[in-house]
Amino acid sequence: MTENQQDKAGANPSGEAGWERSVLEKVALAAIEEQARARRWGIVFKSATLLYLTVLLGVVALPALKKDIGGDKEHTAVVEVIGMIAEDKAANADSIIKSLRKAVKDEHTKGVILHANSPGGSPVQSHYVYEEIRKLKKEYPKTPIYAVVGDICASGCYYIASASDKIFVSQASLVGSIGVIMDGFGFVETMQKFGIERRVLTAGAHKAMLDPFSPRKEDETRFMQDLLEQVHQQFIKAVKDGRGDRLKDSPDLFSGLVWTGEESLKLGIADAYGSDDSVAKEVIGAKKLVDFTEQGSVLDRLAGKLGTSFGREIGSLLQNWDLK
């Protein structure tokens, strides 16, 4: 082996080591850069999430904060009755009553608007609110309570509205439905057609009253009809006590029919046209509206909104998947 060959042979190990070291350095630098990039994106994501939660919290808390804005200025309080009236719904007697009490007790409340947009619901819940309005009118005679109808104020909603000092509608509002309903289904002939035998045991002759899978009994039907008539008469009395001689004499008034706002004025089941803004400004004399509608806690509403948003996103993802 020549001297030149020996030099080359001796240089190879050193050259290979330098190449490996260079590659390792590049891999290490790439890993460091990737970690730095991941940290940057993590910071961006966390900042965006924090911003989203802050905005969402502000949106949830805004209605509550609005009540404290305005200082000592007089305002018109608004209490909403929206959707089905039932104990497990937003429009339940407990929430509406708490809202009304807070509204009339506020020293800067010049009048209260009961914003009504509901097809009705529980006669019991409606009666509770009706009685509370009449009670508050006696305790706070200088604070008027007006009902302002949106799209519809029917059945239990009108039960409540009839206790107010005046009812304002739009021409196209649907008002009335002063009646009581109980519905169901009958599957007796369907079961006979398919040869299905109904087996039910009761302790009490009428415990399975109006069972949809058994033939209807005339005595039970009459009994339930009497119950409906009693509730209907209670409804009629409440409307008459609330509206007084403003009601016109019409055979259809308590038949369960609904009328437009225009027709309701003719029948005396409403008083005038008006919206929340116009009633606040022109009738009550305090154009500033403050919402006193009872809400859940800020955390409850935030959790609800987060849950809704999360569910909406999951639903959107599932729609794009091919599930087989």
pLDDT tens, 203-237?
A: 988 888 888 888 888 998 899 999 999 999 999 99
The percentage of the chain sitting over the pLDDT mark of 70, rounded to a whole number, equals: 76
| Centroid of chain to Cα 107 | 28
More confident residue, 114 or 2: 114
From 167, 166, 215, 165, select the one nearest 190 (Cα to Cα): 215
> pLDDT digit string (tens) for 75-90?
999 999 999 999 999 9
More confident residue, 256 or 21: 256
From 96, 88, 231, 249, select the one nearest 164 (Cα to Cα): 96
Tokens in use for 31? Answer: 């890993």
How far is Cα 317 from Cα 311, in angstroms, rounded to an integer? Answer: 10
From 124, 208, 136, select the one nearest 165 (Cα to Cα): 136
pLDDT at 299 over 50: no
- Considering the domain delimited by 74-296, tell me its CATH architecture: Alpha-Beta Complex (3.90)
Overall average pLDDT of the 47-61 stretch: 63
* Residue 270 CB contacts under 8 Å (≥ 6 apart), including other chains: 149, 167, 168, 169, 175, 261, 264
Q: Check if the beta carbon of residue 198 is closer than 8 Å to that of residue 213.
A: yes
pLDDT tier, 254 (very low <50, low <70, confident <90, very high otherwise): very high
Q: What is the pLDDT of residue 142?
A: 95
Overall average pLDDT of the 56-84 stretch: 70
pLDDT at 151 over 80: yes
Overall average pLDDT of the 140-147 stretch: 97
- Give the sign of the dihedral formed by CA 283, CA 276, CA 159, CA 257: positive
